[in-house]
Amino acid sequence: MKKTGLIIVLGIFGFLILVGAIALMWGVGIHNTMVDKDEKAVSQWANVETAYQRRADLIPNLVNTVKGYAEFEQETLTKVIEARSKATSVNIDASNLSPQMIGQFQKAQEGLSGALSRLLVTIEKYPDLKADQRFAELQTELTNTENKIGFERKKFNDSVLDYNRYIKKIPKSIVASISGFVEKGYFQAVEGSETAPTVEF
């Protein structure tokens, strides 16, 4: 009888070890998938930053070209320079892509977008500037960069959606909580963005 009881205890113990090993392997698999999805979002964030940096790099050349037209409104140029400075001063650690941090970054970038829009509208009053070859090239580069920004933002939002969905689903949310995986933020549509602006050059 004692021998049978020992066998049962060892059998239960072995079963529990097996279940524990399977649960551990399952948890490790989920954790590794979270790491992959997190890295994809972080990598896409780098592409977003690169696109915004490209825009910021174009602005000094644009401002210098416009400055060449002495009668151009200095206040408009000053606002663009200030907005660029503010936008480039907001740096986000890729390990903290929280909704608050993404919102802060987006707000600074929208300020620059608004200043650029006002500059481009003001340029309408200067036909000689609009005809300037250097300005035309910069305007084309700026348009291409804005398109790239939109494309990279969408890809970033897609990767964040995939990541956020994964870490929020039960039982994966338990592993996420234990491992420290938290929700990431999205770029939000700007109010009025459902209507595309019309800008003519």
Measured CA distances, 33 to 21, 29, 197 (Å):
18, 6, 40
User: Residue 150 — very low, low, confident or very high, per pLDDT cuts 50/70/90?
Assistant: very high
Distance CA 6, CA 34 (A): 42
Span 177-198, average pLDDT: 75
| Residue at 163 is within a domain | yes
| Residue at 196 is within a domain | no
| Residue at 193 is within a domain | no
What would the pLDDT profile of 81-124 be if each residue is shown by its tens digit?
999 999 999 888 888 899 999 999 999 999 999 999 888 888 88
Distance CA 38, CA 36 (A): 5
**What pLDDT is stored for residue 12 in this prediction?**
83
| Residue at 197 is within a domain | no
| Residue at 77 is within a domain | yes
**What pLDDT is stored for residue 109 in this prediction?**
94
Instruction: Give me the domain span that covers residue 27.
Output: 2-179
Span 187-196, average pLDDT: 62
| Average pLDDT in the chain | 86
| Residue at 187 is within a domain | no
CATH number for the domain that contains residue 101? 1.20.1440.20
Question: CA 178 from chain center: how many Å?
Answer: 25
* Range from 16-25, 64-73, 126-135, 151-160 carrying the lowest mean pLDDT: 64-73
| Residue at 192 is within a domain | no
SS3 194: coil
| Residue at 184 is within a domain | no
Domain count within the chain:
1
List, in order, residues 6 or more apart from 55 with CB less than 8 Å away. Answer: 112, 142, 145, 146, 149
